[in-house]
Amino acid sequence: MHTPLLDPIDGSQWNPDSARHLLNRAGFGMPRSRIQRLASLSPVAAVDELVEWEKAAQPYATPDFLTLPEVLRELRAEYALLDEEERRVKSQELRKREREAVTSLQAWWIQRMATTPCPLQEKMALFWHGHFATSAQKVQSSYHNFALNDLFRQQATGNFKSLAIAVGQSSAMLRYLDNAQSTKRQPNENWARELMELFTIGKGHYSEDDIKESARAFTGWGFDDNGFRFREETHDFGEKTFMGRTGDFDGWDIFDILFEQPATAEFICGKLCRFFVREEPDQGLVEGLADTFRRTQYELKPVLRQLFLSKAFYDPKAVGTQVKSPARYVVGLAADLGVERPPWKLMARATDQLGQRLFFPPNVKGWDGNRAWINANTLLIRCNLPAEFASQAARRKKPSEDSMMMMSEAAEVSGAWTPDSLLRDLRFETAGECAIALERHFLAVPLREEQRRILLQALGAQDAAAPLRPDAVPHKNLLAALHLLLSSAEYQLC
C-alpha cells in the first residue's frame, strides 16, 4: 500500500529545525551539539544514528541498590528461623528497603534518559512502560520492576511479538495481572483480558468468551526465583475455542493466533503514531506503517525508520504540537538550561507531581499522554518547577520543601549552575537579539511580538535595539526572563 504521508523527506528539507524535532520526539530534547551534528548528516544517516542505537551503546551495571533474587532467597531462609514477631519486623524492614530501592530506580532511569548516547532506546523503553504497564504498587520487588524495565531497554526496538511473549513471562507482569495465581480449577482472567484489550489487538476484536478460553490456556504460566516457570500441574490441558479455532491451546498458541490477526499491527502502529507524531494521526499513515509491521513479522526498526523519515512526521501539523510528557519535560529542562549535574531525585519526584510517576502508572492502561498531562494544577506545577530546579542546581544540596527560592534569587547563591553556561552558547549584540536567541533556544514554536516585548522588559531593556552583550546581562534580569519563558504555554510543547 502506498501513501504519500509515508514518502521520505528529501535532503533539501533537512535542517537544524528538523533535526531538533527528531530529537525532541525520538529522544528527550538534547544538547545543541547533538542537534547540530544530526543536522549536518543526511536525513537517512541522522535517523539511522538513532534507530541503529546498538552501535553507540555502552555497557552499564545493574544498579547496586536492588534486592537480587539470591539475596532474597538467603533472607527467606534466615527469616524462617525467627519467631513470628521478629519475622514481622524484618519483613517490614525489607518492604521499606524495597520501596526506597524503587525510588532510587526512578532517579536511575531519569539519569539514563538524560545521559544516554542512545536516546531512542530509552524513549522506546518509556513507550513500552506505558504500553505494558505494571505498577510497583503491586509488584513490590525492586528487582522484578528493574528486570521488566531492562527488558524494555534491551528489546526496545526488536521484534514486537518476542517482546510481548517475554513480557508475558516476566515476573512483574505475571504478578501484576495475577496470572501466576491462575489455575485450571479457577482461571484468573486479568492477564488474558488486558493482553487483548490493551497489549495486542485492541477492543472490538475479541469476545468475552475469547477471554475466558485464553485465560484457561495461560494457566500454569508462573514464576519463581529463577524467573518464568511453566507449572504443568496447574495448566488446563483441555480443549479451548479461541478466535474461532479449537485445540488444546497453551499460552504460546494464544500468542501465535493473536499475531495472525491483522488488527494487532494497526493497534500498535496507531499507538506509536500517537506517541511520536500527533494525537490524531492520519489513518493512512497508521495503515501504511501497519503494512510494514506485518510484512516484517513485527520488526520494530523498519516501522520506526519509515516513521522518522516520513513527510507526515515533519508536517507542520506535527511539529511543536505535542505536549511534552513529564519525563520528556524534566529531562529536557536540564538539557535546555545546560545543567551539568542535575538533581536527579528532584527530577524523578517532579515527574510524579506532573502525573507520570515512573514505575507506578495509574493502571494497566498506562498514561493517556498529550493533553491528558495538562490540567490547571499540573500546568502551574510545570510553571513553578524551573525556578525550584534552577535554585537546586545552583545550590547542589537538598532544600527544605518550604524554602523554595525564586529563579531571580538563585543567581545570588554561588554554586554549580549559573546561567553563564547557557549564555556561552548564545550569540547576540542587542536586547532584541538576546530575546530571540532565548526564544529559539527554548521553544519549538515562535512567540508573538507582544510576548517578545514582555521578555525584553524582563531583560531590563527599553527597546529591542538597546545594546546588550552576553557578558553584560545582569543575572537577575536574565533569570526573570527565563522564569517567564519557561512559564509559557509554548514551553510545554515540542
Partner 1 sequence: MQIKVTRRQFLSTAALFSAIGVAPQFLVRAVEGQQREAAPPANDKILVVVQLGGGNDGLNMLAPYGDDAYYRARPTLALKKDRVLPLNEYAGLNGGMADLMRLYDNGRVALIQGVGYPNPDRSHFRSMEIWQSASDADEYLHTGWIGRYFDNTCDGSARPQIGVAVGPERPQAFEGEKGFGVAFDRPDRYGWKPGKAGDTAANFEKLNRPVETPNTTLDFLRHTTSNAILSSAEVREASDRAGFQGGGRGAEALKTVAALIRGGLATRVYYVSAGGFDTHTNQRGQHDNLLQRVASGLAEFQDTLERDGTADRVVTMVFSEFGRRVQENASRGTDHGSAAPMILLGRGVQAGLHGQTPSLSDLDRGDLKHTVDFRSVYATVLEKWLQVDSAPILGREFEILPLLG
Decide whether 17 or 490 has the Cβ nearer to partner 1. Answer: 490
Nearest CA-CA partner of 33 in 50, 16, 15: 16
The C-alpha cell at 370 is 498529550
Maximum Cα interatomic distance, the chain, rounded to a whole number of Å: 83
Measured distance CA(44)–CA(306) in Å, rounded: 10
Closest distance of CB 446 from partner 1, Å = 10
Decide whether 245 or 371 has the Cβ nearer to partner 1. Answer: 371
DSSP conformation class of 262: T
Decide whether 37 or 274 has the Cβ nearer to partner 1. Answer: 274
The Cβ-side half-sphere exposure at 381, using a 13 Å CA radius, reads: 18
Decide whether 121 or 408 has the Cβ nearer to partner 1. Answer: 408
The angle subtended at Cα 278 by Cα 326 and Cα 294, nearest 5°, is: 110
Decide whether 153 or 278 has the Cβ nearer to partner 1. Answer: 278
Radius of gyration from C-alpha coordinates of the chain: 25
Decide whether 39 or 482 has the Cβ nearer to partner 1. Answer: 482
Closest distance of CB 242 from partner 1, Å = 17
Measured distance CA(287)–CA(458) in Å, rounded: 49
Closest distance of CB 382 from partner 1, Å = 10
What is the SS3 assignment for 389?
helix
Cite the DSSP H helix spans in 233-276.
251-258, 263-276
Q: How many residues are given for the chain?
A: 494
Decide whether 194 or 336 has the Cβ nearer to partner 1. Answer: 194
Taking each continuous run of H as one helix and of E as one strand, the counts in the chain are 23, 4
Closest distance of CB 115 from partner 1, Å = 28
Q: Is the dihedral of CA 476, 482, 486, 489 positive or negative?
A: positive
Closest distance of CB 2 from partner 1, Å = 29
Look at strands 227-230 and 221-224 and give their pairing: antiparallel
Decide whether 177 or 335 has the Cβ nearer to partner 1. Answer: 177
Where on the chain is the footprint of partner 1 (CB under 8 A)?
A: 177-178, 181-183, 185-190, 193, 197, 203, 208, 279, 320-323, 355, 362-365, 370-372, 374-381, 383-384, 387, 404, 406-409, 445, 448, 450-451, 454, 457-460, 476-477, 479-481, 483-484, 487-490, 492-493
Nearest CA-CA partner of 459 in 478, 438, 475: 478
Closest distance of CB 281 from partner 1, Å = 14
Measured distance CA(358)–CA(89) in Å, rounded: 28
Residue matched to cell numbers 495472525 = 260
Closest distance of CB 375 from partner 1, Å = 4
Residue matched to cell numbers 524582563 = 458
Closest distance of CB 208 from partner 1, Å = 7
In contact, 193 and 141? CB cutoff 8 Å: no
Closest distance of CB 186 from partner 1, Å = 3
- CA 384 to chain CA centroid, Å, is 22
Measured distance CA(240)–CA(259) in Å, rounded: 18
Nearest CA-CA partner of 408 in 476, 488, 337: 476
Closest distance of CB 253 from partner 1, Å = 22
Decide whether 96 or 365 has the Cβ nearer to partner 1. Answer: 365
Decide whether 159 or 188 has the Cβ nearer to partner 1. Answer: 188
